[in-house]
């Protein structure tokens, strides 16, 4: 059975197994409505492989960690940021949205 990915408004993701054509359009994730995350489903490996990912390349100085965390939260992409200033991306979709919120993109991605 294939894996289907869902994400809620807080950015929390959940993967479920379902028969082809039988996957629900929405599910409850931590009490909130989660919608299908088609972007995460398109990868050629299981969506959970390699995630979460701490990204040093898009990090900031340790003194700016709180500013980055707040900027991403205000931009609608709540993201964990380590004390060293490195964002922790939950999945490929989250990473793409967080980078876009900062005016960045990954030329080598997909």
Ranges of H-type helices in 15-78 = 38-41, 65-74
pLDDT of the chain along its 110 residues, tens only?
Answer: 788 999 999 889 899 999 988 999 999 999 999 999 888 887 655 556 678 999 999 999 999 999 999 999 999 999 999 999 999 999 989 999 999 999 998 887 65
pLDDT at position 49, please? 67
Decide: residue 94, CB within 10 A, 0-12 exposed, 13-18 middle, 19+ buried: buried
> How far, CA to CA in Å, does 52 sit from each of 25, 49, 92, 95?
24, 8, 9, 10
> How far, CA to CA in Å, does 64 sit from each of 61, 83, 88, 109?
5, 9, 15, 26
Handedness of CA 75, 64, 85, 32 (dihedral sign): negative
Q: Where exactly are the structural domains of the chain?
A: 3-40, 53-101
* pTM as predicted: 0.56
């Amino acid at each position: 059975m294939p894996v289907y990915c869902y994400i809620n408004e807080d950015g929390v993701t959940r993967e479920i197994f379902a028969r082809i054509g039988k996957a629900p359009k929405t599910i409850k994730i931590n009490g909130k409505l989660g919608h299908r995350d088609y972007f995460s489903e398109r990868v050629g490996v299981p969506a959970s492989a390699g995630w979460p990912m701490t990204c040093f390349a898009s990090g900031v100085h340790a003194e700016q960690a709180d500013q980055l965390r707040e900027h991403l939260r205000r931009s609608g992409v709540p993201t964990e940021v380590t004390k060293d200033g490195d964002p922790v991306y939950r999945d490929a979709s989250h990473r793409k949205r967080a980078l876009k919120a900062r005016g960045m993109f990954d030329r080598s991605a997909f």
